[in-house]
Structure 1
Amino acid sequence: MDIKRAYRFRCYPTSGQEVILARTFGCARFAYNHMLRLRTDAWFERQERIGYHETSAALTKLKKQPEFVWLNEVSSVPVQQALRHLQTAFGNFFAKRAKHPSFKRKDGPQAAEYTASAFKWDGKALKLAKMTAPLDIRFSRTIPRAAKVTTVTVSKDAAGRYFVSMLCDDTVSAKPDAAGKVGIDLGLTHFAILSTGEKIAAPNTFRKHEAKLAKLQRRLAKKQKGSARRAKAKRKVARLHAKVADARRDFLHKLSTRLINENQVIAIESLAVANMQKNRHLAKSISDASWSEFVRQLEYKAQWYGRTLVGIDRWYPSSKRCSDCGHTVSKLALNVREWVCPECGTIHDRDINAARNVLAAGLAVSAHRESISPVCI
């Protein structure tokens, strides 16, 4: 299968390269914000819709003005790509997939995208436009020789770390068929409960660092705005947020890869996470669990490696249905973790029973393309 795959690595630019990247980030950010204001004002003042080509022409004129001549000091490619990203943001907004584009902050995450004409990659070293030396990249894995690098994105997060992401035209092959089939019930106390009876503990990455984060944020709030100490305190908060995000991402990738390697069919319940987060008692724990990202990883990895991922209707009564005889009880309170089937007398662990029902429903969907819902029971 031909795919687009991004390889992301940590990089350590020299002081001179940091200056060039800072200018490039600033020019790309300025172009994005300037054209966002131009398009927004044109719509609200004159009901005029401006697209990518109009903003591109406006940028060309802008570069010729004496007060904006500094836009020519960096590679033109990342600045031009910023306009393409703005066009994509508006496209997502009009398609109701995202909110209205917002302005990029100087003190937020920064990024610059280079297309093939603005970088050189020989399979070992990466050299960007306007730079005399290649970037110092820590390659944590090898990029296949057959993979063609089409786009390079250099980014700097709020913690001050630099990353380079190399987008490639790559090919993946399906893995050999696996014997396993598993149903997954997602939870908070245990992140995932498998139909095999295994319970995978929730990493609770945010909860583990919540007290320290609150302490650092209180210190940050007391610092004078614009001071060096405030900037230092802000970096400490950003670094802790980055540590939490990295730990969560690592856990999700390892678990999703393991499930893909071990199972041919994976069934999982479809959850309305956005609606569940409206519960103020559980919102923080649900966000910390990051179920949506876990399902997203399962989806693309299943597609890459020839696995079958089945989503079960969220209204399917997986917890209330007996996985042995099929009887469905009318009510089952959330605090009831074990229950006895009134028909066959089987004692059920609520979560394992739900996972087994999810697997059974998933196999039915996979075999017969049925739609599983309470109406079918």
Structure 2
Amino acid sequence: MTMRSDGDRRYTVKDVAARAGVSPATVSRVLGGTYPVAASTRTRVMRAVRELDYVANAQARALKGATSKTIAFVVNDVTGPFFAHVAQGVEKQATEEGRLCLVCTTHDDTARELAVIDLMREQSADAVILVGGGIETDEYRDRMVHLAHSLDKAGSRLVLCGRPSLGDDVPATVVEYDNEGGAYSMTSHLLSQGHRKIAYLGAHTSLTTTTARINGFTRAHTDMGLEVDSELIIEGRFLHSFGLTATRRLLAERPDVTAIFAATDMVAAGVLQALRQSDVRCPEDISVVGYDDVPFASDLYPALTTVHIPTDELGRTAVRLAIHRDEYAHNQHVVLGTHIVVRDSVAPPTIRRVRTPDGT
């Protein structure tokens, strides 16, 4: 079991064992994952594997163009509506291209995400598609750059779907959407209706998705000569439960808020539930908007005004550009458009009657 280095040399299990200070049998056990190995030993072995850029079963991959006819779709949580609909686009296009689509979940674990990419490289996947925002740390970025180059050497391809590029010199396909532009347009829509106290629910520290949306949110205020109230940018995960609890707290602490920009439609669903439970009318008392335009957005009450992301096209384009990267060599970074969908959850602000603690 070997893999070609940057030169002509092939590294072997013995090379990895020597680098890690263990026996070749221990290396095989770690890579096979079928035998218990101490965590510290596993760490040393995997560090040596990365440093030598070693991949098992490389003889098959050494044949140029040899792949497993597989597309790997790597996502945080496949039950999320946004991810599920991107996955549908990936699966449809993969089927048309004669590829098998594998769905791998990471559950917000970056170590698991990186391990899955390594595994897919070992399995000679045609492409590894990462969906959703990336972590904005130097360590994470450096590791992703390394994996992009490793996949490229193995004849595979890293695809960033819904997240920005790692740099022009990184061999990766990038299919993103105008994330900042969508947030800018939606915030501008709220401001044009007369809202000045707008809460943003769902800021996520060091996540590219959040960074772009907050930038659009802030820029829309700036272009109208307004300042953003930093206390109204509220951190939280993209979950229904967060929208519910954050809105309850917001109603108690900030009665001046007239509009809520939920980071996702799922968060917006929680917001609307909290408003109903508190007898706060939408949009008469508080306007609510979301982001994604997943199918249930139009079924909420009131029907949700939101930012539309072309999820199916996002998934299909990711597969098509990765599989036919020679044909699309000069078009490996695509930005798809977003637009707002106006429904029933926004109205000009009114003076809201706030109940006192005694219920009057």
Name the TM tier (shorter chain): under 0.3
Normalised to the residue count of structure 2, the TM-score between the two structures is 0.25
User: Who wins on radius of gyration, i.e. which is larger?
Assistant: 1
